[in-house]
Structure 1
Amino acid sequence: MNMINLVLTVCAVASPNTCEERNLSFAADFSLKQCAMAAQPYIAQWVGEHPKWTAVRWRCEYPHHDDKA
């Protein structure tokens, strides 16, 4: 299994111009395109747990192992 990041752009419901990126990481055995197409349940769960935010777009990417903390 490989790790995939689902990168959500979320905006505050009370202030739609206040937007941030959130990363959801999970183990998956499929392509980035398949990840993006299968993302809705993960997005729905995140939004359900964070009702003050709404998801406006998303993308999938492989984690960057060489990023510095």
Structure 2
Amino acid sequence: MDTIQLIITVCAVLAPTKCEERSLSFSANFSPRQCAMAAPPYIAQWIGQHPQWTAVKWRCEYPHMHEKI
């Protein structure tokens, strides 16, 4: 199985201009598009565990996708 990352942009509930990216890694044979479509339950679970944050957007990509060779 391959690894794919779900990158969630989250903003603080009490300070909406304070935003960060959080990454969740999965072992799955998903394309980035399939990952993004399947993401909402995982995002909801993460937000449930971190109620001080709200998710504003997300994307999926393969690990090390932006590294230069």
Instruction: Give the count of matched residue pairs.
Output: 67
Greater than 6 Å deviation, 4+ residue runs: none
CA RMSD of superposed structures (Å):
1.4
Per the alignment, do residues 50 and 60 of structure 1 end up closer, same or farther by CA in structure 2, a change over 3 Å counting? same
Residue of structure 2 equivalent to 1:63: 63
Alignment match, 1:24:
24
TM (normalized to structure 2)? 0.92
Structure 2 portions without partners, runs of 5+:
none
Q: Which runs of 5 or more structure 1 residues have no equivalent in the other structure?
A: none
Alignment partner, residue 44 of structure 2: 44
Cα distance between partner residues in 2 of 1:33 and 1:20: 22
Give me the identity figure in percent.
67
**TM-score normalised to the size of structure 1?**
0.92
Aligned AA for 1:7?
I
